[in-house]
Amino acid sequence: MAEKKLEGRIALVTGASRGIGFAVARRMAEEGAHVVALARTVGGLEELDDIITEKGGKCTLVPLDLRDGDKIDALGASLYERFGRLDILVGNAGILGELSPVGHLPPKLWEETFSVNTHANFRLIRSLDPLLRQSDAGRAIFVSSEIAQEQRPFWSLYAASKAALEALVQGYAAEIGNITNIRANIIHPGPVATAMRAKAYPGEDQKKLNRPWDITDRFIEMASSNFNENGTIVRL
């Protein structure tokens, strides 16, 4: 039997009810991690739980809307009571917002997109940093996009929220790199066949793209205790 690369680790994955988050959570469970799966969609979480438990894995479901900052703030204490630490944080959840000229964007949509893509990850770091410090090798991975570093018309909302996320994560990495066992990094998955991608590119043939499962190897590598890069952007 092949060695499980994340045996005994505690891993929290946001946006775990579908797409990349679903695949990463499933793969981490197969590699021996106890997965804490967080998402709004209860049905998707239950499907994930069925798959993981059927294969003998361990999963804890956390139905939570990342726009609810108070619940994120309370998450750290709840996980500490249950596990005493957190080894892996995957900040995957995100929303596209709307592809639109800047002047046509509704302020409410701007605020909602930043709330999920940026502010929620700030509150996750704030809430879970003490638990990651309890790990012998805390690993935080945040999903962004190459669009954060490009200037594309009509993509300003999504790009700005992801650029802010990258600045946040790299600042956090600079703070913890020399004084803790935590490593915080960013991943650009590239084109992947997801519902968000279909919304952004409705005429695209998704059969020609990577499936979410196809990119999980890199997440496992970045989550492992021997991955020591910090503050970097890993591009697939």
Q: How many CB atoms lie within 10 A of CB 161?
A: 26
158 flagged as catalytic: yes
Nearest-angstrom CA–CA distance, 4 and 35: 14
Nearest-angstrom CA–CA distance, 110 and 157: 7
Burial class (CB in 10 A: 0-12, 13-18, 19+), 153: exposed
Nearest-angstrom CA–CA distance, 139 and 185: 8
Please enumerate in sequence order all residues whose Cβ is within 8 A of that of 71, keeping only pairs 6 or more positions apart, or say none. 64, 65
Catalytic: which of 80, 158, 172, 201?
158
Active site residues: 158
